[in-house]
Every structure is written in structure tokens, then in C-alpha cells.
Structure 1
Amino acid sequence: MYNISTGRWSGALWWQQANVLETVIDYSSRTKTNTYTDDIATTFNANKSTSFINSYYDDEGWWALAWMKAYDLTNMISYLSMAKAIFNDMTGGWDSICGGGIWWSKHKTYKNAIANELFLEVAARLHQRTSGDTVGGESGPWHTSYINWANKEWQWFKNSGIL
């Protein structure tokens, strides 16, 4: 059950909240209804103080995907901006241990498939939604071109032995 004061669904874990929201967005998109647009906004506004960032990179990936779909549904740039902010945090999970890839959590206990699958998908989808995002595009100390990140992740992932 949706709690309008918290913008969350009862009994769902944090990453599951993102999956439920994505399901609501998918329903709204497919049925061409705006019945849940306020609930999407409520979830965003009630929880945006954390930027949907926690200690688990896979959780963050689910939220980034949900906010991109919310952007696709509503054209509200704040949703896309949030997805980009989440992805920026996810890039902090990348290092040279195991030849690359991101950790499952910020505790750096292991690297797994789901965190890296989500990292790849988020990077690719942000590339699709970011005008001027090109191979070789950089900003700041990390390569932040989304397509560069997607390519870098794919190269690591296919050679990692996880697949």
C-alpha cells in the first residue's frame, strides 16, 4: 500500500521501492493515464533529500532507471537530473581491483553481476537521453561521457568471467 506522506510502499525494501515505482510508471505509460503522476512526484519530493543514494550500488541503479522512466513519462528534467546524480555516485564504485567494474556496495566486499549490469544499463540509457554525449567526451577527473562508461563497463564485464 502506498503511503502518501512518505512516498513509499509498505513492506518494500529500498531497492524494491524503485522497482514498484518503475512498475507504476510502466503502467502509466502503457495505459496513457496520468492517474499516478502525483504519486511519482510525491515519491520524488519526499525522498530526494538523500538523492536516492545509499551504500549499495545496485539499489542506486534501480532508482536511476526508475527516474529515467519518470522523465520519459513526464518530461520533468528534475527526474533526469536525479538519474544523472545517482549515476555519478555509482561511478565512485569503479576501481582497478579485478581489472575494473563496480563494487556491489560501498563497503567493497565483492563485485557482482547485478551492480555491474545496472551500471551498464544506466550508462547506456543516460547516453540515449543526453544530447551531445559522445565517445571521448569527458568532464572532470573521470570519463563522464555516458557512452564511454557503457563501453568501458561492457569491455570489463565481458572479460570478467562473471557472464
Structure 2
Amino acid sequence: MKTAFQRRHLLSRAGSSENASQWLDSAYDDDGWWALAWIAAYDVTGNDDYLELAEGIFSALPIWPIVRYPDEYLNWAQTQWNWFSAQGFMGENGTINDGLLDNCQNNGQTVWSYNQGVVLGGLVELNKAAPDATLLEFANHIAQAAIATLADENMVVHDSCEPSNCAPDATQFKGIFIRNLHMLQQVSPHHIYKQVIDSCARSMWANDRNSQNQLGVDWAGPFQGVADMSTHSSAMDALVAAIGG
């Protein structure tokens, strides 16, 4: 639990959009993740400081100038999806690959779980802001393709780096997928989504937990390697999704 001093320090960093520079590291995706984190903090707390910080981070991204008219963010989201969906980023089986060729086409290489999850969450939120049945159709297509590609016979999701080559960041990838799969399940339920979420959580707790209740990266088990903040945050996403139904 954070002390009062720590909470004040955190809020002082998040106090306004002017402080966004403290959270930027010149990596476009990292900055975007911070913006999403502060939006989530706002959703939980209602604290406008967090929302202003997210706005400041978005404004600092290397994109066209921000005009700040009412539908600015919605227009950006729709523009991004229209571009993304026209580029052929999805492979033949419907999954999204991690890399692009020089012509911005799918390179057909590694399918990581988080790439699927990021797009699922974006489509769910975009449909919430501007309802469009095709958005959820795309989301369901991607989700089911990802499950077919990444889940084992027990419906437990894996990344190709498991169990020993996922550090430092890929240990968190599956949590991103499960968290966003749960978001899709809330608005477009499918029995296979619930099955995957429940199977991952139950298998992890039964097979990928050591005597100190530390949770590892290979949810099918057995527990091996290092358990750290990244593996735990990923595991907690799965557990919370399972509890959320």
C-alpha cells in the first residue's frame, strides 16, 4: 500500500497535462501504454488529473496537430482503424503479426498474444463510442483466430517464447490479450472466450504457482523460471477476468 507521501508524489507527477513529458520515453508504443494506464486510473477514481495527463501524453505523440474539438479523439480512432484495416496487417488465418515489410504489409512472422489483445480492446472501445456492428465482427474474427493459433488443447494460451525466453516484456503479453478478450466477452459473449479465460486462470493457479504463491509465465505449468512484477500483472489480468465472468 502506498504511503500518503507516495500518493501525493504520484499525483504531483500526474497533476496536469503539462507534466506529460515526465512519462514520455520517445517510444511511440510505450507512451501510448502510459496514456491507456492513466485513462484506466481515471475510470476507477474519477480524478481529472489522470485524464488530463492522458490527454497531455496523446498531444505529445508525433502525429498531426491536436485541435481539441469535441469529436477529436473519436475521429482519430476511426481514421486509425480505417487505415489499419486497409493495410492487410492480418494474416491469412485472421491473426495480427508483429512486424511489417517496407511497404507496410504483414511480414507473416511471429504472432504475439498482445498484438491481438490491443486491437480487440480498441475495437470494443471504438464500437462503444460510435456503434458499428462491423467493428465487433472484426473483433470476434481476430479473437477466435488468436485462440485457434495460441491456445493449447486445454484452452490455455501460450506465446512462442515460453517458458524461458520471454523476458523482459513478453512475460506480460498474455495478460494484455486476456484482459481485452474479457472486454470483448462483456459486449459480444461467446462460450469459447469464457472457456479460454477460465481455463487460463484455473490452470495457472493449479500448475504455475510456487509455494510462495508466485505466478510464472507458462500458465500450463509447471512453474519454472523467474516470477516478477511482469508475470504477476499478466497473471492477475487472467484471474480478474475469470472472476469478472
Normalising TM by the smaller chain, what interval? 0.5 to 0.7
Among the aligned pairs, what percent are the same residue?
12
With over 3 angstroms needed to count, the CA separation of the structure-2 counterparts of 1:19 and 1:80, relative to structure 1, is farther
Summarize the alignment of residues 76-155 of structure 1 with structure 2, pairs less than 5 Å apart: 76-91=132-147, 92-95=149-152, 101-104=156-159, 108-110=160-162, 113-130=171-188, 133=190, 137=191, 144=192, 146-155=193-202
Kindly state the Cα deviation for residue 113 of structure 1 after the two structures are TM-superposed: 4.4
Cα separation, partners in 2 of 1:71 and 1:151, compared to 1, 3 Å: same
Deviates more, 1:76-85 or 1:34-43: 76-85
Per the alignment, residue 89 of structure 2 pairs with 50
Which 5+ residue runs of structure 2 have no aligned equivalent?
1-25, 41-50, 52-69, 98-110, 164-169, 210-215, 217-231, 233-245
Give the RMSD, CA atoms, in angstroms: 3.5
Higher relative contact order (CA 8 A, sep 6+): 1
Q: What is the aligned partner in structure 2 of residue 63 from structure 1?
A: 119
Inter-partner Cα distance in structure 1 for 2:142 and 2:203: 21
From the superposition, tell whether residues 19 and 42 of structure 1 become closer, same or farther in structure 2 (CA, over 3 Å).
Answer: farther
* 5+ long unaligned stretches in structure 1: 1-9, 28-32, 138-143
1:37–1:123 CA distance, 2 compared to 1 (3 A): closer
Which amino acid letter does the alignment assign opposite residue 122 of structure 1?
A: N
Aligned length: 133
Q: Does the 8 Å contact 2:120/2:184 carry over to 1?
A: no
TM-score by length of 1: 0.62
* Residues 18-58 of structure 1 deviation map (CA, whole Å, 9 limit, x = unaligned): 748958x986xxxxx32222211111111113247112211
1:110-132 deviation digits (Å, cap 9, x = unpaired): 1564233123223322221125x
Shift of the 88–121 alpha-carbon distance from structure 1 to 2, 3 Å rule, reads: same
Q: Which runs of 4 or more aligned residues in structure 1 lie more than 4 Å from their structure 2 counterparts after TM superposition?
A: 16-23
User: What letter matches 2:89 in structure 1?
Assistant: T
Counterpart AA for 1:78: T
Tell me the distance in 1 between the aligned counterparts of 2:136 and 2:185. Answer: 11
Summarize the Cα distance change of 1:18–1:11 in structure 2 as closer, same or farther, 3 Å threshold: closer
1:68–1:80 contact (8 Å) kept in structure 2: yes
Aligned-partner Cα distance in 2 for 1:45–1:17: 22
The residue type equivalent to 2:120 in the other structure is A
